[in-house]
Structure 1
Amino acid sequence: MSSWRDRWSNWLPRMAVVTHDLAMVWVVWHTLHWLRFGVMANPPQLPLWSPEVVLVLIAQGLVFWQVGLYRGLWRFASVPDLWNIFKACALGLFAIVLGLFLYNRLDMVSRTVLVLYPLVLMALLGAPRLLYRAWKDSRNERGHAGSVRILILGAGHAGEALVRDLRRFGTYQPVGFLDDAARMRGTKVQGVPVLGQVKDVDEIARETAARLLVIAMPSADADAIQRVVVVCERTGLPFRMVPRLQDVLEGRSLPGELKEVAIEDLLGRKPVMPDWKAIRDWLGARSVLVTGAGGSIGSELCRQCARHGARRITLVEIDELALTTVEASLRRDFPNLEFVQVLGDCGDPAVIRHALGLAQPEAVFHAAAYKQVPLLETQLREAVRNNVLATETVARACRDIGVGTFVLISTDKAVDPANVLGATKRLAEMTCQALADQRSTRFVTVRFGNVLDSAGSVVPLFREQIRLGGPVTVTDPEVTRFFMTIPEACQLILQASAIGTHEAVYTLDMGEPVAIRVLAEQMIRLAGKQPGRDIAVVYTGLRPGEKLHETLFHADERYRATSHSKILQAEPRAVAAANIEVALHALRAASAEYDQEALARLLRSTVPDFQPLAQDRPAIPETATVVAFPARTARKI
């Protein structure tokens, strides 16, 4: 019974709209003919109902239905709905003329009426819809007098759409726009006035009693966003941001959601747009296997592969919780894809053989690795076992069964390595180069720098320190790093893999290096605090194995452009495959004996450019005085 009631309650408003529209058709048809024939000396009698009128109603009603006029709601009527109404009226006129011509050769039908009919009918159909929407919007505004007053920075399309969304929800009241465009000065957008420029936000926020600022500039670059954030911070008010369209499409933000300004929005580099067609052409309908699938890069690689056409994804992960979590998330978001779980160490030959047998992959992404620089300085055996020997195990197994493409996820620290992480990653690159065979598996190495918000990286560490009230610990005031977001890094990994070179080392263009000190200060400000006043910044000195600055390019590797502007291909340095084979055998023996001295000796001899970093810069004691750097002296990010 309730189901019948629900169905009736859904159909009743739609039937009322249909009745209204057909009534307007009848009124327009009769009124126009009455006005046209009324000027004649002996006007003909026009019956209220006739076969001709019924034919007009049927023809126009069928066109209304076919065009989809009743799939929308009056509550959300807008300009596209008016265009749809005009299209329905014009097509309806064509159907009416055709029907009446076949019925009575358009007898007693005025040509003037036929010209005016679609225009008048559009006005009578569109006006009630727009008036109803305006009435509902005004009711919402009156019904939420206690709603939060917000000031919107940016009066473009995003700002206009935001006002419409906010009025529907009713919990926020837009009180004004700020926009730097001179043409917007003194105008209104959706009835909300443009009150001034963005730089005047402090004064205008006080005058309008705004309680929240919203940055509606999703297409602005990082420099512009950073300038806007600075003026928003001066007001002391909370501020939010309309997400970018790309973030919404890729599921990182919800439509209509107001998100906090994230540190990646201030990175000072434009997001890199991949060649999606090339990626889908290469990845489409393939089976792929990802090692380290529960990690930051591995899980996002799985997500990107699922989004761009892979038919089966095999997840290899040693951490059972991470494996369960990522697999559940992927099944929820991509229910039609096939996911295979393999719990185990990819460095175990039995595990990787089993995984490859289940997956039958055309491509393998080797993302499993240890990557914490200071920790690995004292854990040489595990660094070699996981970063070098496991890579050799997976790469050799892929070559033995003829996997099409093997992709090694490397790091900028492999360029002129100065720590154990860089040296082991460089040796992993050399191992893949030694295994490369032009007749079988294509070996691809992709290098990039630090990844924002990856597990164990500096951003989540700073975030947690800020949450706890500080201090935020920075190793050195001058230290810089290259940064890239997780999705961007994974997209470029896929892009590099799709380029097609048989044996290649690709370096991703990471933009300008970012000062870690400035990164820390920006994160403190984004949390609504002031560095040096609310949250202390403490300099602790460089940790074991850490450089002041990383480099992306090696002097002996010739780089050339690829089909993508942000990816460079390096000419691999020559390696002696036989020597690498002997070194790997010795490393396995030393690893089995947990002989760290032998491992260190072998690593230095096999990777000639490995120069362990001497910590010649004096460490700054953890009790050092906090130094607050003014915002104007901070390097741009």
Structure 2
Amino acid sequence: MKKRRIVFLMFLDVIAINLAYILALYIRFEGVLDLSYMKIYLNHIIAITSMKLVVFYLFKLYKSLWEYASIDEMIEVVGASIVANVLIGIYMYLSQAGLPKSIYAMVLILDMALVGGSRFFYRVFRRLKYGIKNESDYKRILIIGAGAAGALVLKELRNHETLHSKPVAFIDDDPKKKGKNINGIPVVGNRNNVLKVCEKYRIDEIIIAMPSAKVEDRKYFLNECKKSNCKTRILPGVYELIDGKVNVTKIRDVQIEDLLGREEVKLNLGELSNFIEGKRVLVTGGGGSIGSELCRQIARFNPKELIILDIYENNAYDIQNELIKRYEDLKLQVIIATVRDKVRIDEVLEKIRPQIIFHAAAHKHVPLMENNPGEAIKNNVFGTLNVVQAADKYNVDKFVLISTDKAVNPTNVMGATKRICEMIIQSYNYISNTDYVAVRFGNVLGSNGSVIPLFKKQIAEGGPVTVTDERIIRFFMTIPEACQLVLQAGAMATGGEIFILDMGEPVKIMDLAKDLIRLSGFQPEVDIPIKITGLRPGEKLFEEILLNEEEMTKTSHNKIYIEEPMEFDNNKLMNHIFKLENAVRSQSSMKIKDVLAEIVPTYRPFKPVSLIEEDIIFTGQKETAVTYD
């Protein structure tokens, strides 16, 4: 098929090349073909045609997709025509072929018109065909952003007829653009006219094409689009468009991350480079949502070796293949092991001797761990203790624990186990040469088992979307943002700290569900029902970030804070953990929770028998507190 297209294009060019000379002679002699000049041309017709075809080939005129012909293809045609005709002029001069000089100038212009015209004819034909199609077969598109990106989106939509999308209007805040046309499509308003424009032009879908806009501007338009009940898609920000190119594959559905409008994290690249470059770095749980993103971020900073440790071979295999493809020079090792196996962990660290450990391996699902407390303790507490002790034994420079806001005043087993993990690293920091630190943050958007993928799946299935309580609020950040801040915190750590990441403003889960429904082109409670299921065991209405806000101090990074180190008696803590181990062996959930409460005084086990609500004025962090009798 490709060869046939090239042959067909060459055939058209042969006709165009020779027609150009015939027309030039005809025009030059006012409608009469001078036979003497015609004879000179015919004597050199093979050489002229062959030379031009070779030049056209070298200018890649036969590789361009002429159904998408644009100004770039026209520039190629102009350049090829100029070079080809200069060479022909030199050839004819050396051959002493006496054609009038004006013929060469006319042939150049005719070459551009005929060769270029053949490339644009098909696109014109497609545009005419597109214009007479039944409008009911096409989605009516509003493009927000009448800049370069918007124009490219328009071009892409027109070039891909299979999308069945018809751009009908632009919106842009620049008053100079209002009333103007971009390739035939009018700019009809600004940010204040989104709803009116959607109604007037019967818009089916909105595409936001503002990759370089400020976060607050994009967030404003997204909120306006929500009100329209139109399907909304978006062109990613400049930092996401790595290659700088805009095409239909880059236009994606709006993610809740776009709506939350979080600024891109600014990193101290020099500090991170000094922290990671040339070091052997181990990531436990390296195949999980957080662990795999940590591996991606670490690989950027040229570690001496990156070691991924995970018990789930499929996850580890996926991130291994991704990193090998992206970083050809990365020295990478994947180890299948569980942090529960003390002997295996000891063997691994003795062999690889990592200098930095990021400990992301953990059980994290609150309701599952509430029903399986022994497993939560085996993996989270004893698994962490195994890695901590091995790190001490083999002189690891720095150990970074990934913790959670659920460790603060925990009401569930998972949170209590993570608080014990924090206590372990702080107690070992005082008796070891290794610097042990923890980084605590809230929910990450899109992680395995998180609420966003669940909502999307429920919406795709037609609902209902399930929310545990209409008052429940959570703090969110993106996985890349969380991992970048974890690395930055690790770089600035000196040992014993618990770093607290700025999670921004809290978000109501009910609002989150409604936003996702609207941005998917549906109306909450009309097209997609929302079902309240009730709080699950161990679940809070709100999450806290700090144990003691008065002891929080700022760091050099505006999104990272420190909870001052607390001293723990290591011997006393180990005695408690030994007691916890016996409780796990008993397989009694009540015994396990009693020992957890003994180790973590702020742990208040979930007891749904008498739930008493204490109304608290909403302060931006808490809306409702829950206490138990």
TM norm. shorter chain > 0.5: yes
Distance in 1 (alpha carbons) for counterparts of 2:212 and 2:393: 48
Which of these residues, 570, 574, 589, is aligned with residue 580 of structure 1?
Answer: 570
Residue identity matched to 1:583: L
- Paired position in structure 1 for 2:124: 134
Percent identity for Structure 1 against Structure 2 = 29
Q: SS at 1:410's partner residue?
A: strand
Corresponding residue pairs, total: 594
Q: Kindly indicate whether the alpha-carbon contact (under 8 Å) linking 2:467 and 2:509 is maintained by their aligned counterparts in 1.
A: no
**Mapping for residues 356-435 of structure 1, pairs under 5 Å:** 356=349, 361=354, 363-373=356-366, 376=369, 381-403=374-396, 405-414=398-407, 420-435=413-428
Residue identity matched to 2:565: R
Residue identity matched to 2:71: V
- Paired position in structure 1 for 2:503: 510
What is the Cα deviation at residue 483 of structure 1? 0.1
Distance in 1 (alpha carbons) for counterparts of 2:58 and 2:493: 52
Deviations 1:276-313 (A, max 9, x none): 78767866787654322443323443455567767865
- Paired position in structure 2 for 1:351: 344
What is the Cα deviation at residue 346 of structure 1? 0.8
Residue identity matched to 2:357: V
Q: SS at 1:529's partner residue?
A: coil
Q: Does 1:177 align with 2:172?
A: no
Residue identity matched to 1:261: V
Distance in 2 (alpha carbons) for counterparts of 1:11 and 1:72: 10
- Paired position in structure 1 for 2:618: none
Distance in 2 (alpha carbons) for counterparts of 1:276 and 1:140: 50
What is the Cα deviation at residue 520 of structure 1? 3.2
Q: SS at 2:551's partner residue?
A: coil
After superposition, the Cα gap between the structure-2 partners of 1:280 and 1:215, relative to the gap in structure 1 and judged at 3 Å, is: same
Q: Does 1:157 align with 2:151?
A: no
Q: Does 1:457 align with 2:450?
A: yes
Distance in 2 (alpha carbons) for counterparts of 1:26 and 1:333: 57
- Paired position in structure 2 for 1:530: 524
Residue identity matched to 1:327: Y
Q: Kindly indicate whether the alpha-carbon contact (under 8 Å) linking 2:411 and 2:538 is maintained by their aligned counterparts in 1.
A: no
Q: Kindly indicate whether the alpha-carbon contact (under 8 Å) linking 2:358 and 2:400 is maintained by their aligned counterparts in 1.
A: yes
**Mapping for residues 571-610 of structure 1, pairs under 5 Å:** 572-575=564-567, 579-594=569-584, 610=602
After superposition, the Cα gap between the structure-2 partners of 1:13 and 1:57, relative to the gap in structure 1 and judged at 3 Å, is: closer
Distance in 2 (alpha carbons) for counterparts of 1:447 and 1:355: 27
Q: SS at 2:550's partner residue?
A: coil
Residue identity matched to 2:127: D
- Paired position in structure 2 for 1:445: 438
What is the Cα deviation at residue 505 of structure 1? 4.5
Which of these residues, 531, 535, 545, is aligned with residue 551 of structure 1?
Answer: 545
- Paired position in structure 2 for 1:73: 65
**Mapping for residues 25-174 of structure 1, pairs under 5 Å:** 48-49=40-41, 66-85=58-77, 126-142=116-132, 147-154=137-144, 155-171=146-162, 172-174=164-166
Deviations 1:352-406 (A, max 9, x none): 2344467665543311123344665676554444323321211332343345553
**Mapping for residues 606-621 of structure 1, pairs under 5 Å:** 610=602, 612=604, 619=611
Q: Kindly indicate whether the alpha-carbon contact (under 8 Å) linking 2:232 and 2:519 is maintained by their aligned counterparts in 1.
A: no
- Paired position in structure 1 for 2:485: 492
Q: SS at 2:381's partner residue?
A: helix
Distance in 1 (alpha carbons) for counterparts of 2:319 and 2:575: 39
Q: SS at 2:523's partner residue?
A: coil
Deviations 1:553-592 (A, max 9, x none): 8432422113xx54x252741535xx22541354135314
Residue identity matched to 2:65: L
Deviations 1:498-539 (A, max 9, x none): x46553654333221212332233234345132499624538
- Paired position in structure 2 for 1:316: 309
**Mapping for residues 328-343 of structure 1, pairs under 5 Å:** 328=318, 330-331=320-321, 334-335=324-325, 342-343=335-336
Q: Kindly indicate whether the alpha-carbon contact (under 8 Å) linking 1:306 and 1:334 is maintained by their aligned counterparts in 2.
A: no
Q: SS at 2:187's partner residue?
A: strand
- Paired position in structure 1 for 2:620: none
What is the Cα deviation at residue 450 of structure 1? 0.8
Q: Kindly indicate whether the alpha-carbon contact (under 8 Å) linking 1:213 and 1:240 is maintained by their aligned counterparts in 2.
A: yes
After superposition, the Cα gap between the structure-2 partners of 1:482 and 1:52, relative to the gap in structure 1 and judged at 3 Å, is: same
What is the Cα deviation at residue 179 of structure 1? 0.4
Which shows bigger deviation, 481-490 or 393-402? Answer: 393-402
After superposition, the Cα gap between the structure-2 partners of 1:326 and 1:18, relative to the gap in structure 1 and judged at 3 Å, is: farther
TM-score between the two structures when normalised by the length of structure 2: 0.73
What is the Cα deviation at residue 241 of structure 1? 3.9
What is the Cα deviation at residue 484 of structure 1? 1.0
Distance in 1 (alpha carbons) for counterparts of 2:300 and 2:320: 10
Distance in 1 (alpha carbons) for counterparts of 2:367 and 2:2: 65
What is the Cα deviation at residue 603 of structure 1? 5.7
- Paired position in structure 1 for 2:617: none
Distance in 2 (alpha carbons) for counterparts of 1:146 and 1:413: 51
Q: SS at 1:137's partner residue?
A: helix
Q: SS at 1:152's partner residue?
A: strand
Distance in 1 (alpha carbons) for counterparts of 2:291 and 2:552: 28
Residue identity matched to 2:544: E
After superposition, the Cα gap between the structure-2 partners of 1:69 and 1:277, relative to the gap in structure 1 and judged at 3 Å, is: farther
Distance in 2 (alpha carbons) for counterparts of 1:613 and 1:193: 61
Q: SS at 2:4's partner residue?
A: helix
After superposition, the Cα gap between the structure-2 partners of 1:197 and 1:376, relative to the gap in structure 1 and judged at 3 Å, is: same
Which of these residues, 299, 302, 317, is aligned with residue 327 of structure 1?
Answer: 317
Which of these residues, 463, 468, 472, is aligned with residue 466 of structure 2?
Answer: 472
Q: SS at 1:393's partner residue?
A: helix
- Paired position in structure 2 for 1:627: none
**Mapping for residues 179-194 of structure 1, pairs under 5 Å:** 179-181=171-173, 182-194=175-187
Residue identity matched to 2:479: I
Q: Kindly indicate whether the alpha-carbon contact (under 8 Å) linking 1:141 and 1:170 is maintained by their aligned counterparts in 2.
A: no
- Paired position in structure 2 for 1:520: 513
Distance in 2 (alpha carbons) for counterparts of 1:25 and 1:437: 87
TM-score between the two structures when normalised by the length of structure 1: 0.72
Distance in 2 (alpha carbons) for counterparts of 1:446 and 1:333: 25
Deviations 1:199-221 (A, max 9, x none): 55555555555544444445556
Q: Kindly indicate whether the alpha-carbon contact (under 8 Å) linking 1:482 and 1:511 is maintained by their aligned counterparts in 2.
A: yes
What is the Cα deviation at residue 115 of structure 1? 10
Q: Kindly indicate whether the alpha-carbon contact (under 8 Å) linking 2:229 and 2:519 is maintained by their aligned counterparts in 1.
A: no
Q: SS at 1:345's partner residue?
A: coil
Q: Kindly indicate whether the alpha-carbon contact (under 8 Å) linking 1:373 and 1:546 is maintained by their aligned counterparts in 2.
A: no
Q: Kindly indicate whether the alpha-carbon contact (under 8 Å) linking 1:587 and 1:599 is maintained by their aligned counterparts in 2.
A: no
Deviations 1:427-455 (A, max 9, x none): 42343344459997554533221112323
Distance in 1 (alpha carbons) for counterparts of 2:347 and 2:42: 79
After superposition, the Cα gap between the structure-2 partners of 1:88 and 1:473, relative to the gap in structure 1 and judged at 3 Å, is: same
Q: SS at 1:184's partner residue?
A: coil
What is the Cα deviation at residue 487 of structure 1? 3.2
Residue identity matched to 1:184: K
Distance in 2 (alpha carbons) for counterparts of 1:600 and 1:177: 61
Q: Kindly indicate whether the alpha-carbon contact (under 8 Å) linking 1:185 and 1:194 is maintained by their aligned counterparts in 2.
A: yes
Structure 2 residues without counterparts, runs of 5 or longer: 31-35, 614-622, 624-629
Distance in 2 (alpha carbons) for counterparts of 1:140 and 1:231: 30
What is the Cα deviation at residue 325 of structure 1? 4.8
